[in-house]
Amino acid sequence: MVAPHGPAPIQRIPVDRIVVGNPRERNCIAFKELVDSIAKVGLKRPITVSGGTDGEPYQLVCGQGRLEAFMALGQKTIPAVIRDYTVEERLFHSIIENVARRQHRPMELLHDIGAMRKRGYSCEMIADKTGLTHGYVKQVCQLLEAGEARLLISVEAGKIPLNIAIIISRAEGAALQLALAAAYESGQIKGNQLLAARRLVEQRRLRGKGNHPDPRKKTTVDISPKMLVNTINNEITRHRDIVRKAERTSRDLSFLVAALDALLKDEDFFTLLRAEGLETMPAPIADLIVERRQ
């Protein structure tokens, strides 16, 4: 048996003596690519196992896909590194191996983080061990704990990225979640618009069409992908109107300040203002005139 620290020799062990204790479902296309790659160039990295003493089976730690590819190719043995791990260490290293890979399928990530949570690891511990951010791991845990079955299916099918599924899961009510998912899947709403659409609908539920919320009741809103698109478009139009009004007001204010500045430089006009008791003006206007003269 080889100690868990330091380099370990690679041995060929029988594939029929290896037990997979934490199996994962495989994507058929990705698995075929792995089989073809191994058939052409061989195994790039050995699997990791533990156990195997006194005729006991080996327990797979890392490399389920590689093992199954070897079996699919009819190979009787496979290169492996044998480690002396406890049951807890074996499960932990198996999960860490899959989570920490540069490329992993979303459902594998959800599966592994969920497994670690069930073993009692906190979101902070998972993040520290895997190199994922604390916020990201916390969001994944929230998605799993919420039991969002439909969103998980969409993630698995590749229709919705994991981060988008997390945004949708935070929406209030199943109807809004379904509408958001459908709008994203159909391409009617892009990722950067999804959060805005969710917030706008939730605000409308509280406020109705007015601007003042009534804390005593929530407004019923008919939710559909089309309604979400209309909501986003209306908000974009509203913001453009605000920008246009702000630009027009800025131009008018600049003209007013320039006109007053010119008039105040006229001694006769200023004497007339003083005689009428109108020589003062609002401080903001006066400050703008001073700023213009600098």
The Cα 3–Cα 85 span in angstroms is 8
The Cα 132–Cα 134 span in angstroms is 7
Q: What share of the chain is helix, strand, coil (3-state, %, to 5)?
A: 60, 10, 30
Please check whether residue 22 is in contact with residue 83, taking contact to mean a CB–CB distance below 8 angstroms: no
Containing 228, the helix (H) or strand (E) segment is helix 225-264
Residue of 24, 271, 13, 255 whose CA lies nearest to 156: 24
CB burial of residue 237 (10 Å; 0-12, 13-18, 19+): exposed
Please check whether residue 115 is in contact with residue 70, taking contact to mean a CB–CB distance below 8 angstroms: no
- pLDDT by position in tens, the chain (length 294): 444 455 678 999 999 999 987 777 777 887 888 899 999 989 988 999 998 888 899 999 888 889 999 999 999 999 999 998 887 777 777 777 666 554 556 666 777 777 788 878 888 888 887 777 888 788 778 777 776 666 766 776 677 777 778 777 777 777 777 788 888 877 787 777 777 777 777 776 665 554 454 555 454 556 777 877 777 778 788 888 999 999 999 998 889 888 888 888 888 888 888 888 877 788 888 888 888 887
